[in-house]
Structure 1
């Protein structure tokens, strides 16, 4: 019985793999430079040192926006809205604390926004995105560095997709988020932004 189950799983996996490859062959990359962000694979995650003892994590998921990307001419542009109501830490009380006036002040400033100013390529691949992050109505420049970036034909979206993970570290007090700094919670926040965008 166990052997049969294993064989069945292997057969299903092989069938799925062959099906995905067949579908992928039908997806042809066009000349369009317009892309729509895929909310299933677009998010902003953060981590911050907690009194030198542990690291707190959270994120904003299911994000939407648009991207213009032209790898041939090594140019691009991206706009990303970050609704603060999407904040998730895994604990409701912690979510509420971070949305309070001590931190994101989400009732007064419900949306953060990132817009790029320059795409930087290195050896033909996207290396960095320079842009402006607006949070609590304060706009500051940041530079996102790609830890990985690639493209693939998506059998789910039936479109060609570009995407990757981008990282930066910011000083939250630059945006006026200074809650608990004097008590020992770090000013430095690591951001990891995952982006995948489907060709339109």
Structure 2
């Protein structure tokens, strides 16, 4: 009887504590958007959707790992002609490079929540370090999946020329691209 009472008292507590687990990205709530200044006049923007990937997350031991594949075909800027130009050899060269990938190398935590995810972004056949800073992060019990979901909003500024994307830089267009990443991942 004591075991039953102890179990009944501790089960709700244990259910609220995240432990090391594997997660799969929810493509409906995961995307990578970008903004780039257009000659000081306007801001060009767009996003990539249908992102796939996996996350391993252990808030107790303050560790994590993420691997994400971003399909270039999913690019959407709101204008078909601009989408096609972004996919051309001038910029992302979809004929040669179908995907971008991000793989984490280190997670930085404040308490049980990540504040930064350091990793490597591969684009255009080149790999460079990128640090994603968390602006929001949370785990919750999702009623639609009947499972824990963890996710957040992350941001970074990258120099696109490091990946060989230098279209119009010599004409005065900025090298800096603001990335805004939204991800939610479902516990498996």
Please give the per-residue CA displacement for 1:125-173, whole angstroms capped at 9, x wherever unaligned: 2100000000011000010000111111111111101100000000000
Deviation at 1:184, TM superposition (A): 2.2
Question: Where does structure 1 differ by over 3 angstroms across 4 or more consecutive aligned residues?
Answer: 28-32
Q: Secondary structure at the residue paired with 1:178?
A: coil
Mapped to 2, the partners of 1:189 and 1:32 lie a distance apart of 33
Deviation at 1:31, TM superposition (A): 4.4
For structure 2, the residue ranges without an aligned partner over 5 or more in a row are 1-11
Q: Matches of residues 7-156 of structure 1 in structure 2 within 5 Å?
A: 31=19, 33-156=21-144
For structure 1, the residue ranges without an aligned partner over 5 or more in a row are 1-24
Q: Secondary structure at the residue paired with 1:157?
A: coil
C-alpha spacing 1:32/1:130, structure 2 compared with 1 (3 Å): closer
Tell whether 2:155 aligns with 1:167: yes
Mapped to 2, the partners of 1:124 and 1:163 lie a distance apart of 13
Query: Does the Cα contact within 8 Å between 1:32 and 1:199 map onto a contact in 2?
Result: no
Q: Matches of residues 174-185 of structure 1 in structure 2 within 5 Å?
A: 174-185=162-173
The RMSD of aligned alpha carbons is 1.4
Q: How many residues align?
A: 174
Deviation at 1:115, TM superposition (A): 0.2
Please give the per-residue CA displacement for 1:72-99, whole angstroms capped at 9, x wherever unaligned: 0000000000110010000000000000
TM-score, normalised with respect to structure 1: 0.84
Mapped to 2, the partners of 1:87 and 1:124 lie a distance apart of 33
Query: Does the Cα contact within 8 Å between 2:70 and 2:99 map onto a contact in 1?
Result: yes
Deviation at 1:62, TM superposition (A): 2.1
TM-score, normalised with respect to structure 2: 0.89
